């Protein structure tokens, strides 16, 4: 459901003590069709080895779950034209199990089987060109979708389709899983203070030097008419600043990837029930959790649900969430759970 974002939803407010910056290391790279940035405290001699381990871990996940790798587990499953069981790793099975739970809770408003529709609208890894499909094509691809048409087996992990054309898209959860696994890796290396960002999905371990919480800016939800050539992360683009310690936060926004035809904007967030991009006033959702995988999945689900059903679902599921709702030329913030407890400063409207 989520694709490579146009600009970082999050950027780090690096406000640490300048005299201690020699101990703070930052490594960067590409994974799952997007960027990653990992900040941690270690000696210079350990940094290269740690970065190598991070790259190996993310490559491992990429080979299992990324549609940008044509030979990944998910890509190979999607190419199957049979309804036979297809063996997968236990890690992939865990991610699919988590996603299917949210599919059921949202009654299909969030659905990991919409890969055919994402591709049809030109938002998939094949980059077929963003276009408005014919109604017949939408109807045909809708028939291939539906989480109820997917079977998951946890013992001797495997998945199978009940319709040959079904295909999975784990973009709305795999990056969060990658963040969690990178955090576990750093902890295994004895590092407890770190900040991980994979395509806007963020997890903070411990704190900065001196016990100062990590500060993260959540960008304003830009309108579709925004100048896409002027997206520098300046302070006036922040909706709010939050403080994180041993927490994860993930954001989904309908403005992250879209195209316009005849004055109408079409977002990459596809409604699984209609096969078309969502049309509502909810611009973005941020979800906070100890698990970035959980936050990642729910951020997309709540955005798909819209400005009324989204907050209602967050309350039922007891989620800490931040909603940005369009109202004429302003944005209205709304909160669920204890999200406001982590605000470093009042939100802007």
* pLDDT of amino acid 5: 37
* pLDDT of amino acid 347: 54
Residue 11 has pLDDT above 60, yes or no: no
Tell me how many helices (H) and strands (E) the chain has.
Answer: 7, 19
Answer whether 157's CB lies under 8 Å from 93's CB: yes
More confident of the two residues 6 and 89: 89
Residue 321 has pLDDT above 80, yes or no: yes
* pLDDT of amino acid 233: 41
- Over residues 213-221, the mean pLDDT reads 83
The first and second tokens of residue 230, run together, are 């002027």
Burial grade of 210 (CB within 10 A; 0-12, 13-18, 19 or more): exposed
Residue 257 has pLDDT above 80, yes or no: no
Lowest mean pLDDT among 1-15, 85-99, 184-198: 1-15
Lowest mean pLDDT among 9-18, 183-192, 335-344: 9-18
Residue 2 has pLDDT above 60, yes or no: no
* pLDDT of amino acid 327: 84
Lowest mean pLDDT among 36-40, 117-121, 123-127, 320-324: 123-127
**Residues 175-191: pLDDT tens digits?**
999 999 999 999 999 99
Looking at every residue in the chain, the average pLDDT score rounds to 85
Lowest mean pLDDT among 111-115, 147-151, 241-245, 344-348: 344-348
* pLDDT of amino acid 267: 76
* Letter string b/e over residues 36-50, b meaning 16 or more CB atoms within 10 A of that residue's CB: bbbbbbbeeeeeeeb
More confident of the two residues 291 and 228: 291
C-beta neighbour count of 104 within 10 angstroms: 12
Domain spans of the chain, in order of start: 70-161
* pLDDT of amino acid 256: 65
- Residues in the chain, how many? 349
**Residues 265-308: pLDDT tens digits?**
777 788 898 988 888 889 899 999 999 999 999 999 999 999 99
CATH 1.10.3980.10 fits 70-161, yes or no: yes
**pLDDT confidence of 17, banded at 50, 70, 90?**
very low
Residue 229 has pLDDT above 50, yes or no: no
More confident of the two residues 94 and 126: 94
Sheet containing 150-153: which strands, arranged edge to edge? 86-87, 158-161, 150-153
Residue 310 main-chain phi, psi, to 5 deg:
-60, -55
């Amino acid at each position: 459901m989520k694709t490579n974002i146009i600009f970082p939803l999050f950027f780090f407010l690096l406000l640490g003590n300048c005299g201690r910056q020699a101990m703070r290391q930052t490594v960067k790279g590409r994974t799952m069709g997007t960027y990653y940035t990992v900040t941690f405290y270690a000696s210079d001699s350990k940094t290269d080895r740690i970065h190598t381990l991070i790259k190996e871990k993310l490559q491992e996940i990429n080979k299992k779950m990324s549609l940008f790798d044509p030979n990944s587990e998910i890509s190979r499953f999607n190419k199957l034209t049979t309804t036979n069981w297809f063996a997968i790793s236990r890690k992939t099975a865990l991610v699919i199990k988590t996603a299917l739970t949210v599919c059921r809770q949202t009654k299909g408003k969030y659905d990991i089987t919409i890969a055919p529709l994402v591709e049809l609208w030109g938002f998939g890894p094949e980059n077929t060109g963003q276009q408005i499909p014919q109604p017949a094509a939408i109807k045909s691809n809708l028939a291939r979708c539906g989480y109820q048409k997917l079977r998951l087996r946890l013992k001797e992990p495997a998945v199978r389709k009940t319709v040959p054309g079904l295909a999975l898209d784990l973009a709305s959860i795999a990056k969060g899983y990658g963040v969690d696994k990178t955090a576990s890796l750093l902890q295994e290396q004895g590092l407890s203070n770190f900040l991980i960002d994979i395509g806007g999905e963020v997890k903070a371990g411990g704190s900065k030097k001196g016990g100062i919480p990590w500060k993260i800016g959540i960008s304003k939800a830009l309108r579709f008419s925004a100048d896409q050539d002027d997206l520098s992360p300046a302070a006036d683009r922040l909706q709010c600043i939050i403080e994180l310690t041993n927490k994860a936060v993930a954001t989904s926004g309908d403005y992250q990837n879209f195209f316009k035809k005849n004055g109408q904007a079409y977002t990459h967030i596809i409604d699984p029930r209609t096969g078309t991009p969502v049309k509502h006033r909810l611009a973005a959702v941020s979800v906070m959790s100890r698990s970035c995988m959980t936050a990642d999945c729910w951020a997309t689900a709540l955005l798909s649900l819209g400005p009324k059903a989204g907050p209602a679902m967050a309350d039922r599921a007891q989620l800490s969430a931040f909603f940005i709702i369009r109202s004429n030329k302003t944005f209205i913030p709304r909160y669920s759970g204890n999200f406001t407890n982590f605000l470093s400063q009042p939100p802007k409207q």
